[in-house]
C-alpha cells in the first residue's frame, strides 16, 4: 500500500517532451549567460589590445576599453531582457507539471509506469507509449481539478431553484473525464501485466496487442477532447450571434 501523502513524479525516463523542452531552454539560456560572463574579461583584454594599437594616450585607451566593455555588458543585459518571455514560458510549463494530482491512483500509476519504462528501455515505441500515457493521465487529472473548481461557480450563476441544463452538461463532462481515467488506468494495468508475463517466460516478442489498444484508447480520448472543445467554441459563436 502506497503512503497516502505520497506524491510521485513522472519517471525521469518518460519525462513529457514539454517538460524536457522547457528544462532544455532554461539550461541553454543559463549556459549562454555563464559563457558571456566568463568571456567578459578576455574580451575586455582583447579590446584593450586592439584599441591600444591605434591610440597613443593611455587615458584614451582606458576610456575606449571601458566603453567597449560597457557596450558588451549592455548588449548582454538587452539580450537577457529579450529572453524574458521565453524564460517565463519555460518556468510556467515547469510550474504546471509540478502540481501533481493528490490521488493515490496517480501514485500507483507512476509506480507501474516506472516499471514499464525499465522493461521497455530497448523499445522506443513502448517508451513513447509510457510517456504519452503519463501525459494524458496528467491532463485528465488537470481537467478534473479545473472542472471541480468551476462547477460550484456555474451553480451559483443558475441562481435559486433547480440546476440548469448547462450545469448538468458540465457535470457530465466531469464524469466523462473520471471514466476516462479509469479506462486509461485499466489499459495501463493490462500492458504492465502482459510485459511482466512475457518477461517471466523469457519471450522476446513485445506485447503489441495491448500496446496498440492503449494507443487507440488515447487517440480516442484526445479526439473526444477536441470534439468537446470544438462544440463549446461553436456554442459560444452561436450565442454571440444571437
Give per-residue pLDDT as tens, 79-122: 677 788 998 999 999 999 999 999 999 999 999 999 988 887 77
Give the pLDDT band of residue 204 (cuts 50, 70, 90): very low
Give SS3 for 5.
Answer: coil
Contact at 8 Å (CB) between 126 and 116? Answer: yes
CA distance 242 to 140: 33
CA distance 240 to 220: 30
Q: Where are the domains of the chain?
A: 17-93, 102-241
pTM of the full predicted structure? 0.72
Q: What residues have CB less than 8 Å from 215, skipping those under 6 apart?
A: 129, 132
What is the model's pLDDT at position 19?
Answer: 94
Quick one: cell of 197? 508475463
Of all residues in the chain, the percent with pLDDT exceeding 70 is 65
Quick one: cell of 151? 462547477
CA distance 195 to 120: 9
User: Comparing 10-24, 49-63, 71-85, 108-122, which segment has the lowest mean pLDDT?
Assistant: 49-63
Question: How many C-alpha atoms does 31 have within 13 Å on its Cβ side?
Answer: 6
Q: What size, in residues, is the chain?
A: 242
Tell which residue, 35, 25, 20, has the closest CA to residue 85.
25
Amino acid at each position: 500500500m502506497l503512503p497516502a501523502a505520497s506524491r510521485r513524479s513522472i519517471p525521469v525516463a518518460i519525462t513529457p517532451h514539454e517538460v524536457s523542452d522547457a528544462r532544455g531552454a532554461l539550461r541553454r539560456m543559463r549556459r549562454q549567460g555563464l559563457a558571456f560572463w566568463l568571456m567578459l574579461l578576455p574580451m575586455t583584454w582583447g579590446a584593450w589590445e586592439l584599441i591600444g594599437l591605434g591610440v597613443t594616450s593611455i587615458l584614451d585607451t582606458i576610456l575606449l576599453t571601458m566603453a567597449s566593455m560597457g557596450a558588451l555588458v549592455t548588449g548582454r543585459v538587452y539580450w537577457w531582457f529579450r529572453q524574458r518571455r521565453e524564460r517565463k514560458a519555460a518556468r510556467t510549463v515547469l510550474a504546471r507539471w509540478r502540481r501533481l494530482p493528490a490521488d493515490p491512483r496517480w501514485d500507483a500509476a507512476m509506480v507501474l509506469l516506472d516499471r514499464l519504462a525499465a522493461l521497455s528501455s530497448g523499445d522506443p515505441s513502448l517508451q513513447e507509449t509510457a510517456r504519452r500515457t503519463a501525459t494524458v493521465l496528467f491532463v485528465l487529472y488537470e481537467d478534473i481539478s479545473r472542472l471541480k473548481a468551476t462547477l460550484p461557480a456555474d451553480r451559483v450563476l443558475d441562481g435559486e431553484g433547480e440546476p440548469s441544463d448547462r450545469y448538468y452538461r458540465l457535470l457530465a463532462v466531469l464524469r466523462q473525464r473520471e471514466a476516462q481515467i479509469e479506462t486509461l488506468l485499466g489499459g495501463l494495468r493490462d500492458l504492465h501485466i502482459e510485459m511482466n508475463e512475457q518477461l517471466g517466460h523469457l519471450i522476446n516478442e513485445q506485447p503489441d496487442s495491448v500496446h496498440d489498444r492503449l494507443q487507440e484508447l488515447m487517440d480516442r480520448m484526445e479526439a473526444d477532447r477536441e470534439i468537446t472543445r470544438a462544440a463549446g467554441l461553436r456554442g459560444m459563436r452561436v450565442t454571440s450571434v444571437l
